Structures are given as C-alpha cells and as structure tokens.
Structure 1
Amino acid sequence: MADELWREERDFWLAGSAEAARKLDDGCLMVFAPAGILTRRKVVESLGASPRWQEVTISDRASIETDELCVLAYRATARRAGAETYRALCTTTWIRRDGDWRIVQHQQTPV
C-alpha cells in the first residue's frame, strides 16, 4: 500500500490544480510557513492561484500504515519555473474513504 501512496504523493506535487484537489479529503487540513493552517477550501484556492511544481524529489522516506490510514514523512526538493529550489520536511496523512485514498493532512517545514 505504501508504494502506491508514494506514487500518489509525487503525483500530488506535480498534478494540475483540479487533479490535485480531487485527492483532498473534505476535512483536509494543511500547514505551510508562512501561510499557516489551511482548510480544504483555502488549499483548493491556493492550488489555482500558484504555479504547480515542475519537478520534485522525495527522499529520506518513512511511513506507518494501517488498513485505513497511512502517514508518509519525507524530505522534498522541488522546483517551479523561474524559482529557486524549495526544500522541506513533509508529512502527509492519507485516509481510505469508500475504497479511495484521500489526503486528510499535509504539512511542510522549509529547511
């Protein structure tokens, strides 16, 4: 299961805003510095308002999982067009809802 979710995680970084939004659970919360704590609605708004990542490398992977929940922790190195390289420590919690995996939590700490 974790292998599938690592692919989903990478795809979330690189997907278009509509596709990325489909991966979010209705109760999703995300934490970004300096933006703060964002609800699903605010996350979807920000996905449409900012350029998506062109590439991402996920390293130092760790995960814990149950049948219905998986937490991914990792170091991300990402790039957008014309911007400096972004580096962060991240966690994402995926929950299984009606057979589909959805993001219920995501957090990034820039390093």
Structure 2
Amino acid sequence: MTTDDTLWDLEERFWTQGADSVRQATAKGAVFVLPLPAGILQGDALWREKDVAQRWRSVEMSEQYLSRKDDIAVLAYRISAERSDEPIYEAFCTSTYLNDDGKWLRLAHQQTPVWDTREG
C-alpha cells in the first residue's frame, strides 16, 4: 500500500469507525472545524462532541486531492455520507496529517456542508 493509499484509508476510517479509531489517529492538540452547533473544537472538546466520531453506514469520497510535503499531507475531497434515519450528508472536507515517527496522525479536519444554491 502506498503512502497516498494509507492516508485515504485513514480518512475513510475517520467516517466509518468509532471514537476509539478516531482518537488513535488524531494528534495531540488537533483542531477540528465542524458545522454548527459543534464549531471549532480542540483538546478534550473533541471527545465530548458527538459529531466528531459519528459512524456512517456508507461514505463516498469524490473530487479527491492530496498534497504532500515531507511529513505533512493535506487531503481535500467531497464526501457523501449516509446513515440510518438521516438525510445524506454532503460536505467539502480537508484533513491535514502529520507523520509522527512513522505514524500518520490527523492534525486538523474541516467540513463545509454543501448546499445547492440553485434550489428553492
């Protein structure tokens, strides 16, 4: 598996696995920016916020981009995520990873929900 494949696999697990998986793949001091009401989260607030470790039944990533320089990688993509009893969630996302002694850890994550301004 290439480094790029590893990073995309980590990112998909962020969406589909639980809080323990997210915590293990997150750097100390990480910052997440999520849609309201969560907002900007850092430190212990990450683990108190239910939106951080939501499990999605299925996810589809598209418009994927990856930029890597030394021990830093930035992933940008569009997500379409689905789970029971909720509408499909669509967002533009970025995640920044740091290679910390051979282990990729998420340092930052941001989501911008997609709204089709052509509707309604």
Q: Same fold (TM over 0.5)?
A: yes
2:103 aligned to which of 91, 100, 103: 100
Highest CA radius of gyration, 1 or 2? Answer: 2
Distance in 1 (CA, whole Å) between partners of 2:113 and 2:22 is 21
1:76 Cα offset (Å): 0.2
Partners of 1:4 and 1:49 in 2: CA distance: 21
Q: Per the alignment, do residues 50 and 102 of structure 1 end up closer, same or farther by CA in structure 2, a change over 3 Å counting? A: closer
Deviation at 1:40?
Answer: 3.4
Where does the alignment leave 5 or more consecutive residues of structure 1 unmatched?
Answer: none
Aligned counterparts, 1:11-90, within 5 A: 11-34=13-36, 35-47=38-50, 51-90=54-93
Unaligned runs of 5+ in 2: 115-120
Q: Which structure shows the bigger proportion of residues in helix conformation? A: 1
> In structure 1, what is the Cα distance between the partners aligned to 2:40 and 2:86?
24
Number of residue pairs the alignment of both structures matches: 111
**TM-score (structure 2 length as normaliser):** 0.85
Which residue type is aligned with residue 23 of structure 1? A
**What is the TM-score normalised by the length of structure 1?**
0.92
The RMSD of aligned alpha carbons is 1.7
SS of residue in 2 equivalent to 1:83: coil
Deviation per residue, 1:29-60 (Å, 9 max, x gap): 00011121001321222248874111110000
